[in-house]
Structure 1
Amino acid sequence: MTALIPAKNTDLERRELAEAAQHYIDQSLSFATRKAYASDFKIFKTWCVANAQTALPAKPESVVLFLASQAQAGVAASTLNRRLAAIKCAHEAQGHATPTAHKGVTAALKGIRRAKGIAPIKKKAATADIVKEMVRHCPPTLTGKRDRALLLLGFAGAFRRAELVALTVADLAFVVDGLRVTIRQSKTDQEGAGQVIAIPHGSLLFCPVTALTNWLAVAGVREGAVFRAVGKGSRVGGAALSDKSVANVVKRYAGAVGLNAADFAAHSLRAGFVTSAAEAGASIFKLAEVSRHRSTDVLAGYVRSANLFKDHAGRICYERFGD
């Protein structure tokens, strides 16, 4: 049997192959991660220019000084972890030895973590009661109808903001019991195997399925992105909202109901669903069906927080004291 010997590639074909190879390498990281890394490395480069240091390739001593500067500025340890990852990624992409593996860098980060602590500052959960108040403040305008659908669906499906803005009409299947939503790709499904979640009908005023149906109808959205910008003259754009826009919507309506907008973010809807469902007695396994958490430990934390006072051991002690 004659072996198939590929013909020599032309210069053009080799360039196209190189571009394709780079594209696949880039796809090893999610869009959100690439965006965050680009921002983090830009911050590092800016600091290097201001402090007469070389960013690429960088010396370990420069990275240590950068970490100290960031820590003094109040940057969280978790953010510094990501910035180190961005510096490492940038060096590896250019074929340079990474300075982040140096013992001095790892020791500096460890010291920062011990000195500042590693507990994350969490945004507040937009629980069911809060979301209800938020949607009461949605005006009967086109933008208001979009925001109502976004808030109710974001809560009901425990959506991440990137998942919400990535939704297209093709991902929606309206059925008798409510809505089936296909999430093509997510933080816990980077390779795009796809996940389907159910959104049941809610009460008349707070039904995510009804709110979404109304938005799609009045906006004339029949294909493409579900959530879009609304411009002057109630003109609906063709592109999807940015993930930052989701955060802005949540903050705006949190402020409208008298809450501190700075305490809320897009993740508040997801956290609010899990918290509310845990308070209502939903099991971890039922929660995971909707939230798609890989780790039950994370969900267990929500359940513990929601049930801190339920069947508290101290109540037995108090009962002994009597009235």
Structure 2
Amino acid sequence: MQDSDNKGYKTPTPDGREAEISSAASPSPSNNRQHDERPRSGAPADGASAAGMPDIDLDDLLSEPAGKDDNGEQSIALPAHVAGSGTLDRLVDQARDYAAAATAENTNKAYKTDWKHFASWCRRKGVDALVPSPAVIGLYITDCAKPQDGSPALSVSTIERRLSGLAANYRHRGLTLDMKDRHIASVWAGIKNTHGKPPTQKEAVLAEDVLEMVALLSFGLCDMRDRAILLIGYAGGLRRTEITGLDIGKEETDDGRGYLEMLDGGVVLHIRGKTGWREVEIGRGSSDQTCPVHALEQWLHFAKIDFGPVFRRVYRDNSGVGIERLSDKHVVRLIKRLVLDSGVGLDRPTLSKLSDEERVKHFSGHSLRAGLASGAEVDERYVQKQLGHASAEMTRRYQRRRDRFRVNLTKAAGL
């Protein structure tokens, strides 16, 4: 059952000759969406814009095992001079699993998409994508920044991630791409200077917004789950993958990102993040209606979940839950739907004159995380610890509202 919810560049070709390559347009963008729940009226089905993404079949792409090249060869394998055996083959398989786990799943997916786009571009230009040529990469990012056919240009941040994806892919193949080569470094510096803009930030969902959103939810299984997602996500300052990646206990699933430890005073979340494990402590709230711990307990009790993923699909008739983990995209869809239904943002000058369709684009899964950073009236270091940031500066980037002049260096300097 379903859930309810530049000319003159030359580059070597495979036969050793040099071929001149001219810039060309990158393919037109397309949206690829995955649905794991029934869309709600007026809510976008996906959490992020696919602008600038290649026109490819993501399902086919993402089904490829990590570490395979275009010929289907695994990048991690036994040396040619070593004879295979059952034990060694099992070790190779395990090594491939560890290599795939070196970066986050979403990062791996993004890197695969980046390579697919670059390989397609290279085929149209008649060059070998497997040859790590800085000259070719320089032309490629030039075409991404200013497509020759007038199609939408990619943002600087997207091009930067493309470069990271290509470098990572070459490393996995045992090849080296010299990112400091002038064909890349000079062109990339020029792109940043020409097209660079201040980073755009998603709007924060503040405490009062969360209360309005939660008030719209009923007490059916699906809404009980969504209430727990919102409150735990906000109080913990969690990423959407950290919310849906929670398990009841330690090491209960292979794809888990953390687990719960229920205590009298609240719940401790053990989260495996980008820099290792961290503890997120969520205390009990002032009332059951807004308490994230109470909402979590109610969901687990009525959903009869005592093992495995915490947040799962709910059957259409609210008769029970499935065994599969909820997609992290559900968190985005949930926030966008409730932003529309509750009118969150209408009192903000930057959003008040926008249509509902435009207003909801300013919110995402990160809005909960930004909300905690902006609304928690405690010492900044406690917020930094909760979010798992290595520096206070990173935490400040998440703060959409704060007294910027609480520490006044002008007066402190005697002026």
TM-score (norm 1): 0.83
Q: In the alignment, which residue of structure 1 is the partner of 2:367?
A: 268
- Aligned match of 2:290: 206
- Give the equivalent residue in structure 2 for 1:97: 176
Name the SS for the 1:254 alignment partner.
helix
Shift of the alpha carbon at 1:9? 6.7
Instruction: Name the counterpart of 1:317.
Output: none
Establish whether residue 284 from structure 1 lines up as the match of residue 376 from structure 2: no
Matched residue of 1:223: which SS?
Answer: coil
Structure 2 residue 131 is the aligned partner of structure 1 residue 57: yes
Find the aligned partners of 2:229 and 2:116 in 1 and give their Cα distance. 32
Q: CA deviation at 1:127?
A: 0.9
Q: Is the 8 A contact 1:146 1:227 kept in 2?
A: yes
Match of 1:226 in 2: 310
1:192-203 residue pairs with structure 2 within 5 A?
Answer: 193-203=277-287
1:289-308 matches, within 5 Å, as 289-302=385-398, 305-308=401-404
2:88 maps to amino acid: R
Counterparts in 2 of 1:304 and 1:26: CA distance versus 1, 3 Å: closer
Task: Give the aligned residue type for 1:298.
Answer: M
- Deviation of residue 101 (structure 1)? 4.2
Matched residue type, 1:208: P
The residue type equivalent to 2:245 in the other structure is A
> Which residue of structure 1 aligns with residue 333 of structure 2?
248
Pairs within 5 Å for 1:142-153: 142-153=221-232
Question: Structure 1 or 2: larger helix share?
Answer: 1
- 1:113 is aligned to 192
Q: Does 1:182 align with 2:270?
A: yes
Of 209, 213, 221 in structure 2, the residue corresponding to residue 130 of structure 1 is 209
Q: What secondary structure does 2:154 align onto?
A: coil
Which runs of 5 or more structure 2 residues have no equivalent in the other structure? 1-81, 147-151, 250-258, 345-358, 411-415
Q: Please name the residue that 2:93 is paired with.
A: 19
Deviation sequence 1:9-41 (CA, Å, 0-9, x none): 753333333333333333332333222211222
Identify which of 128, 143, 152 aligns with 1:69.
143
Unaligned runs of 5+ in 1: 1-7, 315-323
Q: Aligned pair in 2 of structure 1 residues 164, 20: CA closer, same or farther (>3 Å)?
A: same
Aligned to 2:118: 44
Task: Work out the percentage of aligned pairs sharing the same amino acid.
Answer: 30
CA-CA distance at 1:258 after TM superposition: 2.4
Deviations 1:185-239 (A, max 9, x none): 11232xxx44242333243321111111111122121111111122333341212
Maintained 8 Å contact 2:284/2:294: no
Partner of 1:31: 105
* Conserved 8 A contact 2:132-2:176: no
Closer, same or farther: CA 188–21 of 1 in aligned 2, 3 Å: closer
Identify if the C-alpha distance between structure 1 residues 26 and 177 changes in structure 2 by more than 3 Å, giving closer, same or farther. same
Deviation at 1:176, TM superposition (A): 2.5
Alignment pair present for 1:81 and 2:169: no
C-alpha change, 1:154 and 1:16, in structure 2 (3 Å) is: same
Root-mean-square deviation (CA, aligned residues, Å) is 2.6
Distance 1:304 1:123 in 2: 9
TM-score, normalised relative to structure 2: 0.66
Once the two structures are overlaid, the 10-residue window that deviates more, 210-219 or 303-312, is 303-312
